[in-house]
């Protein structure tokens, strides 16, 4: 009979755990798990962590092969719409919650498409906020994955390689054309952020681990895509209980903790309804191992013997 192992991904907790002032108010079962587990510190973001959970080898490059995951092809890039904000001496990139409609996306793409013809590129949208640049050949450049750059400065994340100057020039020309777009003028009138740039990323491929998990659960488009690529069945919901564990390797992506709200109440409820029964099952050796991944923080590993430590 296969051992029961559980890998839990808890987005949103890094900030809570890394502020020492919160140490005294961490709920009891989370506190026990943190104290008795072995810990490996890793600053891996959520998207990269999910890729690595389905990859034969850890993805260590600056980019993530999202186009290979989406289409199985390596002759295209993502060129996702974004907003660049000047903050003193740097540019911050934002790509979430831009409220971009499909019609706006279509019009913006039509405006900047001529700029890509020199590169043999055709720009299309897979969704309003996801644009694809189909190419005759992908440039010899190292790109940086959008999820790793979002909300941060871009100065160290620009494309690097032999064709860098041409693509930086293209990127600047796209920004200038978008700056003058009537769509962005209308968005400004509607108190929306302008779409003033695109971000190139998503090149390359990776070795998918087939049947990586016996059970996958969670609400995430990326998780669904990775599960499909790995030929794993997935339950597309984030409601979880220890009773739903199956023998073998279980992967569960929890909902992100919303730190703008009453995060302590969220965490206390989660502690009582989820972590308490998981702790009890592990202590009774009904779970052989729990891996608790916290994006941007690290991974805690708990075994039944760990639960019985006297410290």
Q: Average pLDDT, stretch 87-114?
A: 95
Q: Average pLDDT, stretch 74-90?
A: 93
Q: Average pLDDT, stretch 171-192?
A: 96
d(CA 75, CA 70): 12
Place of tokens 């690290």: 298
How do residues 201-259 score in pLDDT, each as one tens digit? Answer: 999 999 999 999 999 999 999 999 999 999 999 998 878 777 778 889 999 999 998 87
The pLDDT assigned to 2 comes to: 64
* pLDDT over threshold 60, residue 103: yes
How do residues 7-47 score in pLDDT, each as one tens digit? Answer: 999 999 999 999 888 888 999 999 999 999 999 999 999 99
Residues 6+ apart with CB under 8 A from 265: none
* pLDDT over threshold 90, residue 135: yes
Q: Give the model's confidence band at 274: pLDDT under 50 very low, under 70 low, under 90 confident, else very high.
A: very high
Q: What is this structure's pTM? A: 0.94
Contacts of residues 278-283 at CB distance under 8 Å and 24 or more positions apart, as own/partner, are 278/6, 278/8, 278/29, 278/242, 279/29, 279/32, 279/33, 279/307, 280/242, 281/242, 281/245, 282/307, 283/307, 283/308
Paired residues of 130 in beta bridges: 127
Instruction: Indicate the helix (H) or strand (E) that contains 77.
Output: strand 76-87
Kindly report the number of other CB atoms within 10 A of residue 264's CB atom. Answer: 14
Q: Average pLDDT, stretch 162-177?
A: 96
Please, what is the average pLDDT of the chain?
94
CB 248 within 8 A of CB 268: no
How do residues 183-202 score in pLDDT, each as one tens digit? Answer: 999 999 999 999 999 999 99
How do residues 140-156 score in pLDDT, each as one tens digit? Answer: 999 999 999 999 999 99
Q: Which of 62, 77, 68, 92 is nearest to 200 (CA)?
A: 77
Contacts of residues 230-236 at CB distance under 8 Å and 24 or more positions apart, as own/partner, are 230/54
SS3 182: helix
Q: Average pLDDT, stretch 120-135?
A: 96
Instruction: Indicate the helix (H) or strand (E) that contains 248.
Output: strand 248-253
* pLDDT over threshold 60, residue 1: no
């Amino acid at each position: 009979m296969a051992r029961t192992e559980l890998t839990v991904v808890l987005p949103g907790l890094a900030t809570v755990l890394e502020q020492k002032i919160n140490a005294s108010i961490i709920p009891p079962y989370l506190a026990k798990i943190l104290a008795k587990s072995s810990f490996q510190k890793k600053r891996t973001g959520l998207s990269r962590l999910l890729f690595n959970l389905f990859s034969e080898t850890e993805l260590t490059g600056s980019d993530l092969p999202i186009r290979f995951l989406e289409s199985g092809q390596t002759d295209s890039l993502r060129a996702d719409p974004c907003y660049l904000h000047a903050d003193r001496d740097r540019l911050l990139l934002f790509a979430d919650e831009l409220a971009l409609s499909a019609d706006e996306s279509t019009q913006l793409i039509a405006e900047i498409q001529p700029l890509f013809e020199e590169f043999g590129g055709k720009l299309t949208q897979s969704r309003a906020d996801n644009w694809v640049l189909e190419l005759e050949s992908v440039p010899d450049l190292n790109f940086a994955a959008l999820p790793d750059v979002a909300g941060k400065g871009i100065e160290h994340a620009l494309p690097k390689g032999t064709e860098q100057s041409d693509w930086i020039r293209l990127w600047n020309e796209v920004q200038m054309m978008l700056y003058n777009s009537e769509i962005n003028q209308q968005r400004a009138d509607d108190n929306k952020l302008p779409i003033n740039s695109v971000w190139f990323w998503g090149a390359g491929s990776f070795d998918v681990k087939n049947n990586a998990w016996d059970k996958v659960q969670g609400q995430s488009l990326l998780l669904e895509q990775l599960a499909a690529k790995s030929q794993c069945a997935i339950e597309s919901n984030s409601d979880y209980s220890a009773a739903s564990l199956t023998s073998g390797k279980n992967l569960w992506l929890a909902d992100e903790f919303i730190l703008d709200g009453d995060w302590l109440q969220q965490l206390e409820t989660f502690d009582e309804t989820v972590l308490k029964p998981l702790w009890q099952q592990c202590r009774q050796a009904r779970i052989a191992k729990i891996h608790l991944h916290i994006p941007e923080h690290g991974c805690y590993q708990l075994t039944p013997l760990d639960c019985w430590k006297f410290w």
